[in-house]
């Protein structure tokens, strides 16, 4: 059995580009005892991959990708084609961590990506398989856990969600709105802003590229911010610190503005002290205990139509590097996926 897999050819010096990768065919063995062969059907494209396209990934994070080898530790879903593990029969839909390739041999008992990507059978009746790479999977968990760690679920007040038209941000906006917050959202194109306002249903939205962030925030949230969900870092985190109310709480989910360039602040961190703020960094994968609760709540909202999600789909394993470059540059909306 052959598997076509994406490998890193050279580490990107700045913006990631398709020519930094190559697709290589490798021969897979038969699955051994306790293993399955999976034909991957969808694979995930995440900003976190860019953090691993370096000689060393940030301390504590998933490992850097070695040049010229398979890229292990990427969310994916697929169908079991051969099995030597009783709990994973042929034909079952599963998620696992060997994405960015067409086929993979997966050990049933392997702990993958802090446990969030262990081989798991999915309920394909509940939602399309790729939803488990979006709202019903790690993206949903990251969104839900972020609001949980700052006690924003079922709270009252105003939250700003940055990178709001993306995979995680668009879910955060909706969970926050459905559980009681006033939601203001930012994204990088007018089309995304219109989608946030008209379809996602936020209370106000603005294009972060158009005006200084402080001006936009003053307009959409004159009452100040009680919560901030940060997917961007840098200038966005700085602007949030400026707009927070006393005692406000910030979920530090990611800093995408820094992944391909020099970190730029925030320069006003003393405001965390003067305003009694709580800044809480977290990983979705550290909150596996919330997975079932999240799937029940978000699954319910999906079923009754209160939760929406969008996908930017690229076709074929060869398109994965293009998809990553497009997502980093803001050319995708919702969850970025490769259909294999």
Q: Taking the CB of residue 281, how many other CB atoms lie within 10 A of it?
A: 12
d(CA 32, CA 192): 47
Contact stretch for ligand NAP (CB under 6 A) within 19-27, 66-74, 103-111, 248-256: 248-256
Q: Which positions from 17 through 76 interact with ligand NAP, judged by CB under 6 A? A: 46-48
* Closest of 223, 181, 183 to residue 201, by C-alpha: 183
Candidates 52, 103, 283, 297: give the one binding ligand NAP (CB under 6 A): 283
Which positions from 211 to 240 touch ligand NAP by CB under 6 A, shown as an x/- string? --------------------xx--------
Instruction: Give yes or no for residue 166 binding ligand NAP (CB under 6 A).
Output: yes
Record the tokens describing residue 136, joined without a space.
């019903």
For residue 300, with 0-12 CB atoms within 10 Å meaning exposed, 13-18 middle and 19 or more buried, which class applies? exposed
Scan for tokens 């100040």, then name that residue: 224
Write down the least CB distance from residue 203 to ligand NAP, Å: 18
CB atoms within 10 A of CB 261: 10
Among 165, 205, 213, 250, interactor with ligand NAP by CB under 6 A:
165
Shortest spacing between CB 89 and ligand NAP, in angstroms:
31
Other Cβ atoms less than 10 A from the Cβ of 273: the count is 8
Cis ω on the peptide bond leading into residue 266 (within 30° of 0)? yes
Output the smallest distance, CB 99 to ligand NAP, in A.
14
Q: Which of 134, 137, 284, 321 binds ligand NAP (CB under 6 A)?
A: 284
Span near ligand NAP by CB under 6 A; candidates 3-11, 81-89, 182-190, 264-272: 182-190
Backbone angles phi, psi at 212, to 5 degrees: -55, 140
Shortest Cβ 284–ligand NAP spacing (Å): 4
């Amino acid at each position: 059995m052959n598997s076509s897999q994406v490998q890193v050819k050279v580490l990107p010096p700045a913006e990631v580009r398709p020519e930094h990768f190559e697709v290589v065919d490798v021969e897979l063995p038969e699955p051994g005892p306790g293993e399955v062969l999976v034909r991957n059907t969808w694979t995930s494209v995440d900003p976190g991959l860019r953090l691993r396209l370096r000689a060393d990934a940030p301390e504590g994070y998933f490992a850097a990708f070695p040049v010229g080898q398979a890229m292990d530790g990427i969310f994916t879903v697929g169908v079991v084609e051969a099995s030597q593990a009783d709990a994973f029969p042929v034909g079952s839909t599963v998620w696992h961590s060997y994405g960015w390739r067409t086929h993979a041999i997966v050990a049933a008992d392997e702990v993958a990506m802090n446990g969030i990507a262990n081989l798991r059978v999915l309920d394909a009746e509940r939602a399309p398989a790729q939803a488990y790479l979006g709202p019903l999977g790690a993206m949903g968990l990251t969104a839900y856990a972020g609001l949980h760690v700052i006690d924003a679920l079922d709270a009252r007040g105003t939250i700003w969600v940055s990178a709001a038209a993306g995979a995680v941000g668009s879910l955060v906006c909706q969970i926050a709105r459905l559980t009681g917050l006033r939601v203001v959202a930012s994204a990088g194109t007018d089309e995304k802003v219109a989608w946030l306002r008209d379809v996602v249903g936020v209370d106000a939205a603005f294009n972060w590229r158009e005006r200084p962030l402080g001006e936009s925030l003053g307009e959409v949230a004159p009452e100040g911010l009680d919560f901030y969900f940060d997917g961007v870092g840098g200038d966005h985190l700085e602007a949030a610190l400026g707009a927070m109310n006393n005692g406000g709480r910030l979920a530090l989910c990611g800093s995408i503005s820094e992944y391909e360039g020099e970190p730029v602040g925030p320069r006003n961190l003393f405001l965390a002290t003067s305003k009694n703020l709580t800044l809480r960094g977290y990983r979705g994968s550290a909150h596996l205990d919330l997975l079932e609760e999240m799937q029940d709540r978000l699954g319910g909202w999906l079923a009754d139509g209160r939760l929406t999600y969008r996908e930017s789909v690229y076709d074929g394993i060869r398109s994965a590097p293009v998809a990553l470059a497009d997502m980093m540059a803001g050319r995708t909306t919702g969850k970025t996926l490769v259909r294999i």
